[in-house]
């Protein structure tokens, strides 16, 4: 049933201790699609992240180290390892999500909604929609249709930022920034009108591995068509990752 599948998916994500996987991403940025492919190693409690993308950019983040910044090898000028805020503008430029949401963080947020948003109609729109086979692998389909998706005019209250508005609507921050030409972390004036999606998606498709109950793919559509799509492969969950693999000096890293 829908309830069982949703709760098993959510539990599988929440119970992750470690995750190794590859991912392909397509994100719509200013009307164009930007494909990328990355490999990632993640550990939780405390959070540790290593990502290398298709352009050779490497990111290492270890909670409690480096003053809260990530180490980044941009694999481009200035050809030195930078320390950057994972929630800051530089690290989020040209991306829908932060490195801290790597793996299945976004999907978990989609299904849990936002505590700031009492309206649960989007979360309730998910349905178990049968099974499919991708490259010989059977997968469950969890689908949301939310035809009432639209942009609404939201009047900012006191001390608001694009992030607080995104939390209120559970819509992700990226489209608020893009549509209103705002900067990350920019304080909003009280009474400022912000065009905001009233939910995350018009249509969402999540394909779920029937053995692990982890996502194999997620595709998100809005009023302009495909907004983002992520496919996960070579997924290895909850196999211990040696601590050395979350250090700058690990072999093969250039940090």
Number of domains in the chain: 1
Q: Is 242:20 a contact under the CB 8 Å cutoff?
A: no
Within a domain: residue 211? yes
**Model confidence pLDDT, tens digit, residues 102-116:** 989 888 878 877 666
pLDDT reported for residue 143: 96
Residue 120 has pLDDT above 90, yes or no: no
Q: Measure the CA–CA gap between 22 and 114, rounded to whole angstroms.
A: 28
* Average pLDDT of span 194-216: 96
Determine, yes or no, domain membership for 154.
no
pLDDT for residue 108: 81
d(CA 162, CA 167): 9
Check which CATH number belongs to the domain holding 129 and give it: 2.50.20.20
Q: What is the pLDDT of residue 110?
A: 82
> Which tens digits make up the pLDDT trace of 132-185?
999 899 999 999 999 999 999 999 999 999 999 999 999 999 999 999 999 998
Q: What is the pLDDT of residue 100?
A: 92
pLDDT of residue 156: 96
At residue 27, the pLDDT reads 96
13-55 pLDDT per residue, tens: 999 999 999 999 999 999 999 999 999 999 999 999 999 999 9
Dihedral pair phi/psi, residue 169, rounded to 5°? -105, -5
pLDDT band at 208 (very low <50, low <70, confident <90, very high): very high
The model's pTM is 0.92
Q: Which domain holds residue 15?
A: 2-149+199-246
Q: Which residues contact 111 (CB under 8 A, 6 or more apart)?
A: 6, 9, 10, 123, 126
* Chain centroid, CA 219 distance in Å: 12
Residue 57 within any structural domain of the chain: yes
pLDDT at 119 over 80: no
Tens digit of pLDDT for each residue in 52-81?
Answer: 999 999 999 999 999 999 999 999 888 899
For residue 176, tell me if it sits in a domain: no
169 within domain boundaries: no
Q: Looking at the domain assignment, is residue 82 inside a domain? A: yes
In a domain, 238, yes or no: yes
Task: Report which of 227, 240, 231 is spatially closest to residue 30, judged by C-alpha positions.
Answer: 227
Asked if residue 117 has pLDDT above 80, the reply is no
In percent, the amount of the chain with pLDDT more than 90 equals 85
Residue 171 lies in a domain: no
Give mean pLDDT, residues 118-143: 92
């Amino acid at each position: 049933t829908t309830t069982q599948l949703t709760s098993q998916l959510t539990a599988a994500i929440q119970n992750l201790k470690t995750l190794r996987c590859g991912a392909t991403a397509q994100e719509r940025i200013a009307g164009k699609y930007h494909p990328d492919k990355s490999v990632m190693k993640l550990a939780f409690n405390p959070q540790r992240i290593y990502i290398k993308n298709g352009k050779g950019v490497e990111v290492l983040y270890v909670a409690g180290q480096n003053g809260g910044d990530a180490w980044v090898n941009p694999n481009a000028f200035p050809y030195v390892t930078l320390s950057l805020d994972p929630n800051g503008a530089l690290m989020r430029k040209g991306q829908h999500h932060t490195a801290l949401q790597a793996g299945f963080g976004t999907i978990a947020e989609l299904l849990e909604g936002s505590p700031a948003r009492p309206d649960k109609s989007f979360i309730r729109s998910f349905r178990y929609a049968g099974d499919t086979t991708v490259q010989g692998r059977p997968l469950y389909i969890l689908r949301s249709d939310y035809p009432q998706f639209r942009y609404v005019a939201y009047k900012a209250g006191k001390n608001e930022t694009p992030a607080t508005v995104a939390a209120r609507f559970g819509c992700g921050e990226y489209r608020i920034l893009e549509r209103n030409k705002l900067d990350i972390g920019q304080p909003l004036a009280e009474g400022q009108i912000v065009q905001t999606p009233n939910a995350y998606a018009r249509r969402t498709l999540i394909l779920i591995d029937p053995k692990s109950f982890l996502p194999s793919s997620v595709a998100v559509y809005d009023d302009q068509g495909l907004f983002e799509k992520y496919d996960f492969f070579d997924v290895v969950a909850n196999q211990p990752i040696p601590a050395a693999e979350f250090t700058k000096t690990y072999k093969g890293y250039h940090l």
